[in-house]
Structure 1
C-alpha cells in the first residue's frame, strides 16, 4: 500500500465536506499525493416508490447530487492548494450490502495507503443498532491508515 495514495470516501454530507477540508488543509501543497474522492451510489430501494418512473427520477436526482458534491469537493481541495492533477473523482454504482466493505474493496484494489471518512456522530446506542460505516472501516481495514474526521 502506498501512503501517498489517499482514498476519501464521501456521501455528499456535511461530514464528508469536513473530511475533504481536513485532507486539503493537511496536504495543501503536496505535489506527490494521489487523492481519490470516492462516492458509492446506492440505488434507492425500488419498493419505496409507487412506480418505475418515480424511482428512476429519484435515482437520477441522487446521482446528480453526488456528482455536484464531487465537483465541489474537488474545488475545495484545489482552493486549499492541492494540485488538480493529483485529484480523481469517482462515482461508483453500489449494489453491495455494506458500504464499508465497498470502501475497503476500493482501497485494496487501488493500493491506497490511507482511507479518510467522515463520522456522523451517532450515539453508542445508534451505532450498536444500526452500525457505522466509519466504525466498520476502522475495524476491518488492514495495511493502511484510517483517518476518521468528525
Structure 2
C-alpha cells in the first residue's frame, strides 16, 4: 500500500473537482512530505470522429490543452493552501478501450498512490452504466488505498 500522503487527484472541468482540490489543499497544506499528482482522464473520440476526418493526434492535443488550463487553476488552489509547487505534478491520459474509472485505477496502481481523491458528480444510472462512475469504482476497489470522495 502506498503512503497516504502520495495523493492522486482525478480532476475534470466540473465544479466538484475544484472542491476536491480545495479539500486536498486544506488537509495537506501544511504537510512537508506530501506529493500530489493531478490527473485528467478524457474519453476516446466519439465513434464517428474518424469518419468525419478527425485526427487522433489533434484530438489528444486539444484535450491536453484543456487539461493544462484546468491544471493551472488546480495548482493555484493548492499553492495558495500552502503546498509547495514542486510537490505537485500533472498528467493526462486518454481512456483507450476502458472506462475513465478503470484508467484512474490503473494510474493509481502504477504510481502506488496511497490516497485517491475525486469530486462526486451526479451521474444518472444510464451514464454510470455507459461511462462508469469514478466515485463508485473507487469505493468498490479501495482495498489497498484510501479514497476521498468530495461532494
TM-score, normalised to structure 2's length? 0.85
Aligned-partner SS, 2:4: strand
Sort the Cα spacing of 1:128 and 1:85 in 2 relative to 1 into closer, same or farther, 3 A.
Answer: closer
Sort the Cα spacing of 1:88 and 1:53 in 2 relative to 1 into closer, same or farther, 3 A.
Answer: same
Q: CA deviation at 1:55?
A: 7.5
Bigger drift between 98-107 and 41-50 goes to 41-50
Is 1:24 matched up with 2:34? Answer: no
Q: Could you tell me which residue of structure 1 aligns to residue 52 of structure 2?
A: 51
Residues 54-97 of structure 1 show CA distances to partners (whole Å, capped at 9, x for unaligned) of: 88765543321111001211111001111111111111233131
Q: Could you tell me which residue of structure 2 aligns to residue 107 of structure 1?
A: 108
- Greater strand share, 1 or 2? 1
Q: CA deviation at 1:43?
A: 3.2
Is contact 1:31–1:86 with CA below 8 Å preserved after alignment? no
Gaps of 5+ in 2: none
Is contact 1:30–1:83 with CA below 8 Å preserved after alignment? no
Q: Could you tell me which residue of structure 2 aligns to residue 41 of structure 1?
A: 42
- Aligned-pair RMSD on alpha carbons? 2.2
Sort the Cα spacing of 1:139 and 1:14 in 2 relative to 1 into closer, same or farther, 3 A.
Answer: same
The list of structure 1 runs, each at least 4 consecutive aligned residues, that deviate by more than 6 angstroms after superposition, is none
